[in-house]
Amino acid sequence: MTKPYPLKFQPEFKERVWGGRALENFGLNLPEGHIGEGWMIADHPNGVSSVVNGELAGLGLDQIRERFGSEWFGSKGHSEDGSRFPLLIKLLDCNDNLSVQVHPTDDYEGLPKGELGKTEMWYVLDAKPDAKIIYGLKEGVSRESLAKSLEDGTVMDLLQEVPVSAGDTFYIPAGTVHALCAGVVVAEIQQNSDTTYRIFDYNRPGLDGKPRELHIEDSLNVTAYEGAGATSMKTDGAVPGQWLELARSPYFIVEKGIVNGEWKLEADKESFTVLVICEGSGHLVWEGGSQPYAAGECYLLPATLGSYSIEGQSTLLRSYLP
């Protein structure tokens, strides 16, 4: 019988017109090209990450889910209908601006078959001077005024731009118009969905030299014109050995922690835990094992892991199900 242990995965890397090579700074071995996304923990038809450590090395997250079910993922993290792992964990390198976009809720009638809506959050790992993001609409923007601005090419005038620096965090509920801009590297925790509606893409060609598809009608339909509850915060207030809550949604809770020495913790029997190492290094230690960790790595801790400790000097994110 396989004893539960922290699972480390081989990411699925995605080339994007806006991507670059910044994820190499984490020691990740990138394929050639403009790599915009590392799907670090993924169980989706468009990408599945595979275990690289321990007894289960070589198995995909989908196979782990099917084999261990609620025993490892917890009663909240596994459903008997065989549905996918509920979260998708990414690192994003925004060497150029992403398209201005918006995501649907779970109940949107236009969702592709089998897809979920997409509520997400960002934690800024690195940001160049003067870096910014697009985060919501300006006050008073309606469906009619947004549609007109798209027709006459003035949509950027209706969007809120926010300066960003490392350590900033942004909660982006479905319906929030948003875009990461050039010079930002983020960790993204989101619903397990790959549905994005592009509103505007700066009239640029895609990787194939042709304009990328826009989804104007869907975007206008799903945008929350009165706001969807987006919140942001600086996280300088995090102190060693205490969790600072960054985002709480129906789909995930995300907290920031600082490790300075040894931090003893207990797995949540009702939910798996995801750790994203933002900076620093050290060891994960549990009964019967130890695993070195470093910045840019992500770990899935089974619900039945029991007592464990994080040792070293590091900053990390902890995500689990509410």
Hey, where are the domains in the chain? 7-233, 244-320
Domain 7-233 has CATH 3.90.1150.10: no
Q: Identify which of 286, 260, 282 has the alpha carbon closest to the alpha carbon of residue 273.
A: 286
Instruction: Determine whether the annotation assigns residue 120 to a binding site.
Output: yes
Cα 128 to chain centroid distance, Å, stands at 20
pTM of the model: 0.97
Q: Identify which of 248, 15, 228 has the alpha carbon closest to the alpha carbon of residue 102.
A: 228
Active site residue 143: no
What is residue 290's DSSP assignment? E
Q: Which CATH number fits domain 244-320: 3.40.630.30, 2.60.120.10, 2.60.40.1180, 1.10.10.10?
A: 2.60.120.10
The answer, yes or no, to whether residue 83 has pLDDT greater than 90, is no
User: Does the CA dihedral 24-28-32-37 come out positive or negative?
Assistant: negative
The answer, yes or no, to whether residue 152 has pLDDT greater than 90, is yes
Q: Which residue type occupies 199? A: I
What is the per-residue pLDDT across 194-253, written as a single tens digit (0 to 9) for each?
999 999 999 999 999 999 999 999 999 999 999 999 999 999 999 999 999 999 999 999
Cα–Cα distance for residue pair 321/301, rounded to 1 Å: 13
Tokens 């007109």 appear where?
148
The answer, yes or no, to whether residue 271 has pLDDT greater than 90, is yes
Q: Are 34 and 19 in contact (CB under 8 A)?
A: yes
Cα–Cα distance for residue pair 234/221, rounded to 1 Å: 31
Domains 7-233 and 244-320 fall in the same CATH topology = yes
Catalytic, out of 16, 198, 248, 318: 198
Give 3-state DSSP helix, strand, coil % of the chain, rounded to 5. Answer: 15, 45, 45
